[in-house]
Structure 1
Amino acid sequence: MTNCKDTEEKYKNRFKIISESKKLDELFREETIDELIYCKAKNNQHEIRNYISNCAEVGISFHHFNETAQSENGIQSKLLSFRLIDQLPLVTYKNTPDNYLGLKMKIAFDFLFSFTVIILGFPIFLMIAFAIQLEGSGPVFFKQERIGLNGRRFLCFKFRTMAVGSEALQASLLGQNEQDGPVFKIANDPRVTRIGRFLRKTSLDELPQFVNILRGEMSVVGPRPPIPTEVEKYEQWQKRRLSMKPGITCTWQVSRRNNISFEQWMRLDLEYIDNWSLTNDFLIVFKTIKTVITATGR
């Protein structure tokens, strides 16, 4: 974000230039932002503090051209540092895990683990597809638009567990919703097929999402990907769960805390992000495998 023509001209091919007239809520709602660089001819300290605070709340790293910046008025960040980006000296407020090597290893693990699961599990894929077709006509896979890293939209794949046309029936079942917040959840959903109940109980319906991982849209471990209508109802602080790639499995899924409130769910996801480590990811994967084997899932 800049109001300096020289800066805009110099960096327009390197960064996306955002109009300074955009308000923060409008900016976060309409743009997909990984990191925000504030570079104006004259720094407005009140405006900068506002950006620092809001970026920290939603999990976006913030940079600004001001060598005298410091944590003010209780504003905290995961990491405050000085760095050069394309020869531009910036103060950086890092609001996501800052373990470069660890995150690269997470990406490598995602690819290798997903590739292995798809290759070794291919016979299981075929058996599940056959069972779904045997129970009734309709597609084997269910595709739904989900929200990923920093608001990116993608098609999430699952094995179909409901009767065809079930999404249209959701409005008539809202009175039975057992989950607070914007999420819809019924323990004994009448739309779920017999094979679908088994797939959900064992979490095998999630297997096609390993394709999403190979496409770079998801990770093995991370907050579950929400649907757009849920994100529209998020409070500002809840949007920070979008600051890491969504995962097939996460903390609350393996902790057997399926009846927690929506706010507790969000806080568990933020706790995972704030305390992220590769060791914790491996532990969650191990617990997930145990959950699948013992069929103690949903």
Structure 2
Amino acid sequence: MFFSKKYILYLRLLRPIFHILLILLSFWIVYNIRFYDFVENIFLDLPDIIFNETLIFTLISSFLFILIGFLFSIYEIFKPIHGYYKEFLKIRFFWMIIISFIAYLGQGFIFPNGISRFILLIGGFFSLLFITIFDILLNNINSYLERKNPYKLLFIYSTESFYKKIFNSFSDYKIYDITGIYVDDLLDLNKEIKKYDIFVTVGNFDKNFLQNLMDIIRLYNKQFYHISENFFLEDLVYSSSRIGPVLAYEQKPSPLDGWFKVTKRITDILFSILFITIFSWLYILISIFIFIKDGRPIFYKSERIARGGRKFFMYKFRTMIKDADKQKQKLIKQNERKGPLFKISNDPRIPKWGKILRKTSLDEIPQFLNVIKGDMSVVGPRPHLDFEVEKYEKWQKRLLSVKPGITGYAQIFGRDNLDFDEEAKLDLYYIQNWSLFLDVFVIISTIKVVFSGR
């Protein structure tokens, strides 16, 4: 089951890359055909066609095809694809119109020598032919893998007649392994959650039930749909979608889904590698500084809670005395911060050199290694200790629906001076309103906060 879903993911990740390569190949073939001498000693008076201009046009065309494909949702990676070929026909139509306009409107400006009509038409035809053949092959492999290990779908229904009507419409969809359960018979979803990939509520439900259900589902990164006119939960992102043959509201805790999740992961890795490469000298200097001040260990390894309650070891430069963890229990009654997190002014476990590293946030930079490993993101809610997470209120556990971050939205509004309730609300706002622009804003604001000494 796991490997089948893993292969499906790889196939879908590669689809847009192969589409670009096939468009480039098609135009390259047609470009060479354009100038091939099929009949010896017969020379045609052909207009000058510049290879570099054709290459630029081809690159623009290929990326436009991918962009339109994303807009029409043919590049889904985490859920079943419905109506692929119907959407592909729309893409082909819009793409040919757009690149034709670009070829002619760019003549004399972007393309001083113009784009050959032969290359435009025949290259466009070959591109779509190659992509169609490739997609038929890829979709057949995808369908085989999905039928071999179908998506496990749980219907939770409040009206049996409505559920049976929906269930019967799924009879031709072999990619789903369907289980239905009446809402009053749903005893403990926590025990069943890992068995299913997709959850669908059918009918009318109490708002508190839907909220509790979603709070559990979001921690396991599962898909959740609702079929009915009913309550809208305030902390979710809604979108009209299809699940099998029916329309439903897809409900998710954040826009950080599908390709956006892939994009964030790629930017996290690139940013972390760039940071470590540029500031490798800083890692060495801080290590020497700590060693001179207090010897080993240089790094502090702390077990924290990540997305979905998974545990991982977070790395920091050590800023406390060597037996700091043992002394914490003696100081716990002096905690000055409301909520589950611990903080006291003038913590005796932190020497002057440690306060310098903390004030400048230099102690946090080893966490870029956690980002590369996949435990953390550059931006996200801060990760906390196991016993702190156990003290979370129910609504605060929604923070565990995304990867924790080195910095976060709450960090730029007061760092650890906020009550935990305020911190959680700010981080939940980030989760529900995520965008790459918001990540950039948080990173730039973090730099300002660090340099301002707040």
Settle same-fold status: TM greater than 0.5. yes
In structure 2, what is the equivalent of residue 83 of structure 1? 242
Q: What displacement does 1:293 show?
A: 3.3
Count of aligned residue pairs for this structure pair: 276
Q: What displacement does 1:152 show?
A: 1.6
Does 2:295 align with 1:137?
Answer: yes
The TM-score, its normalising length taken from structure 2, stands at 0.54
Q: Which amino acid aligns with 1:37?
A: I
The structure with the larger Rg is 2
The 5 Å alignment of 1:171-250 reads: 171-250=329-408
Cα deviation per residue 1:108-144 (whole Å; 9 max; x = unaligned)? Answer: 2111110011111111101111111111233111111
CA distance in 2, matches of 1:252, 1:144: 21
8 Å Cα contact 1:252/1:268 also seen in 2: yes
CA distance in 1, matches of 2:151, 2:298: 42
In structure 1, what is the equivalent of residue 111 of structure 2? none
The 5 Å alignment of 1:87-106 reads: 91=248, 92-97=250-255, 100-106=258-264
Tell me, what secondary structure is at the counterpart of 2:417? coil
Q: What displacement does 1:254 show?
A: 1.7
The 5 Å alignment of 1:35-54 reads: 37-38=198-199, 46=205, 52-54=210-212
8 Å Cα contact 2:339/2:420 also seen in 1: yes
The 5 Å alignment of 1:1-80 reads: 23-24=188-189, 26-27=190-191, 37-38=198-199, 46=205, 52-57=210-215, 60=218, 61-63=222-224, 69-75=227-233, 77-80=236-239
8 Å Cα contact 2:254/2:433 also seen in 1: no
Higher relative contact order (CA 8 A, sep 6+): 1
CA distance in 2, matches of 1:170, 1:32: 36
Cα deviation per residue 1:76-135 (whole Å; 9 max; x = unaligned)? Answer: 541143334xx6868432222256444333222111110011111111101111111111
Q: What displacement does 1:248 show?
A: 0.4
Q: 1:56 to 1:103 in 2, by over 3 A?
A: same
CA distance in 1, matches of 2:392, 2:368: 27
Alignment partner for residue 422 of structure 2, among 264, 270, 277?
A: 264
Q: Which amino acid aligns with 1:38?
A: F
Q: 1:208 to 1:249 in 2, by over 3 A?
A: same
Cα deviation per residue 1:124-169 (whole Å; 9 max; x = unaligned)? Answer: 1011111111112331111111111121211111011111111111
Q: What displacement does 1:223 show?
A: 0.4
In structure 1, what is the equivalent of residue 315 of structure 2? 157
8 Å Cα contact 2:205/2:230 also seen in 1: no
Q: What displacement does 1:206 show?
A: 0.5
Q: 1:81 to 1:287 in 2, by over 3 A?
A: same
In structure 2, what is the equivalent of residue 3 of structure 1? none
CA distance in 2, matches of 1:135, 1:62: 51
CA distance in 2, matches of 1:208, 1:239: 26
CA distance in 2, matches of 1:90, 1:11: 25
**Is there any run of 5+ residues in structure 1 with no aligned partner, and where?**
1-9
Q: Which amino acid aligns with 1:152?
A: R
Q: What displacement does 1:230 show?
A: 1.2
**Is there any run of 5+ residues in structure 2 with no aligned partner, and where?**
1-146, 155-178
Q: 1:98 to 1:218 in 2, by over 3 A?
A: closer
Q: Which amino acid aligns with 1:63?
A: F
CA distance in 2, matches of 1:45, 1:100: 28
Q: Which amino acid aligns with 2:343?
A: K
Tell me, what secondary structure is at the counterpart of 2:370? helix
Tell me, what secondary structure is at the counterpart of 2:251? strand
Q: What displacement does 1:226 show?
A: 1.2
Q: Which is richer in helix? A: 2
Aligned-residue sequence identity (percent) comes to: 37
CA distance in 1, matches of 2:200, 2:415: 45
The TM-score, its normalising length taken from structure 1, stands at 0.79
Q: Which amino acid aligns with 1:246?
A: P
Q: What displacement does 1:179 show?
A: 0.6
CA distance in 2, matches of 1:80, 1:245: 23
CA distance in 2, matches of 1:125, 1:15: 47
Tell me, what secondary structure is at the counterpart of 1:146? strand
Q: Which amino acid aligns with 1:82?
A: S
Q: 1:38 to 1:179 in 2, by over 3 A?
A: same
